[in-house]
């Protein structure tokens, strides 16, 4: 890591996050319908604060992680760029931080530039990322 890239800057570069003034409960209850509206399959939900507490490590904030997918784009990525499988399925994190609800995902922008050789898939994957950002705005009510 170069001297100019602090851990905070690195996290900011690799994540896309928005905040909401709504409670975490209000935000998380919107996720299933927003996924359906935006043609994402909701594959799995992790109530992470409960998971780590059950392992003997309670935390003082609520954290939810959702695994979501658009199968057509996933199939294309796995067919032409299987090394991207480490980023799949798309993750959506919702957590409490300083009185706000944060909605966060992997910032796919830099990674997607690496697949420009397949222009059709590049456009499709960028559309997926834009749809994911739109979904985040919907659930945040921003």
pLDDT of residue 61: 96
- Contact, 28 vs 94, CB < 8 A? yes
Q: 11-15, 31-35, 60-64, 93-97 — which is least confidently predicted?
A: 11-15
End-to-end CA distance of the chain: 34
Question: pLDDT-based confidence at 1, cuts 50/70/90?
Answer: very low
Can you give the pTM of this predicted structure? 0.90
- The percentage of residues in the chain with a pLDDT greater than 70, rounded to a whole number, is 97
Tokens found for residue 106: 């992997």
Residue 85, burial from CB neighbour count under 10 angstroms (0-12, 13-18, 19+): exposed
- Per-residue pLDDT, 128: 95
Segment 4-14 shows an average pLDDT of: 83
Domains annotated on the chain, with CATH? 16-140 (3.30.310.70)
């Amino acid at each position: 890591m170069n001297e100019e890239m602090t851990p905070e800057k690195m996290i900011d570069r690799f994540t896309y996050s928005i905040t909401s003034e709504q409670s975490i409960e209000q935000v998380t209850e919107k996720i299933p319908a927003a996924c359906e509206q935006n043609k994402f399959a909701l594959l799995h939900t992790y109530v992470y604060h409960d998971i780590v507490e059950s392992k003997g490590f309670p935390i003082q904030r609520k954290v939810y992680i959702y695994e979501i997918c658009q199968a057509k784009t996933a199939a294309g990525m796995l067919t032409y760029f299987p090394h991207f499988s480490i980023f799949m399925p798309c993750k959506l994190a919702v957590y409490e931080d300083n009185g706000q609800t944060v909605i966060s995902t992997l910032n796919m922008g830099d990674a997607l530039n690496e697949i420009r050789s397949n222009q059709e898939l590049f456009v499709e994957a960028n559309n997926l990322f834009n749809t994911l950002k739109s979904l985040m705005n919907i659930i945040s009510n921003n």
